[in-house]
Amino acid sequence: MLPAFTRALIVANVAVFLLELLLRGTMLQWFALWPGTGAGLGALPWRAPWQLVTYSFLHGSVMHLAFNMFGAWMFGAELERVWGPRRLAGLYFASVLSAAGAQLFIGAMFAGSRVPMLGASGGVFGLLLAYAVVFPYRRLMLLFPPIPMSARTFAVAYGVLELVLGVTGTQSGVAHFAHLGGMAGGYLTIQYYRRGPPFRRR
């Protein structure tokens, strides 16, 4: 049985995807994260601030949805059993927001991206980072290639790969800086949970 928040998250994402299929471009127009016309602060969607969260419930394809929900299940369920639903939800949505900020400020400002962002990847990358911190020596098996490694090694390797792909512009169409932003949001949230504001030692 899936824990409450993880289950609700997966159900909500699947339900929204079905709405996307029914309403076609309407959901994308209103709820994807569209960059503004300028750089820096001008790149923020001030006229539609809800997009900073709603983009994370939209997906471009069944495979896009499936991979993200697999990650939410794989990392989120175990974290929720340790932290409970409230803390997991806080970390997830903090990662979603930090992913949006990273994509707007770095992706739009320096890479000149003017395409909308959608997908739960930023939140899932935050869950991945948190999983690696809480279960650093848990063994994970890669799909391609099938190589076992610790969760900590997997998170670091994935983070470095995303940084390289983002800086070099490789694999266009993927919001690599949003993934890194999600990891940063996850890390900062963990520090808040452990040390309190503003990350002071107890």
For the chain, what is the radius of gyration of the CA atoms? 17
pLDDT in tens, 66-113: 999 999 999 999 999 999 999 999 999 999 999 999 988 876 565 556
- Report H helices in 32-149: 51-54, 62-71, 77-83, 85-102, 109-110, 121-134
Count CB neighbours of 155 within 10 A.
23
The pLDDT assigned to 1 comes to 84
Percent share of the chain, pLDDT over 90: 60
pLDDT in tens, 13-53: 999 999 999 997 888 888 999 876 444 445 555 568 899 99
Domain span at residue 109? 4-195
Q: What one-character DSSP code corresponds to residue 117?
A: B
Nearest CA among 126, 104, 100 for reference residue 39: 104
Q: How confident is residue 190, by pLDDT bands cut at 50, 70 and 90? A: very high
Please give the tally of structural domains in the chain: 1
Q: Is 102 contained in some domain?
A: yes
The pLDDT assigned to 201 comes to 57
Inter-residue contact 97 to 105 (CB < 8 Å): no
The pLDDT assigned to 134 comes to 95
Q: What is the CATH number of the domain that holds 31?
A: 1.20.1540.10
First to last CA, the chain: 35
pTM: 0.89
Q: Is 68 contained in some domain?
A: yes
Q: Is 172 contained in some domain?
A: yes
CA atoms of 114 and 199, how far apart (whole Å):
35
- 157 vs 42 pLDDT, higher one: 157
Share the mean pLDDT of the chain.
87
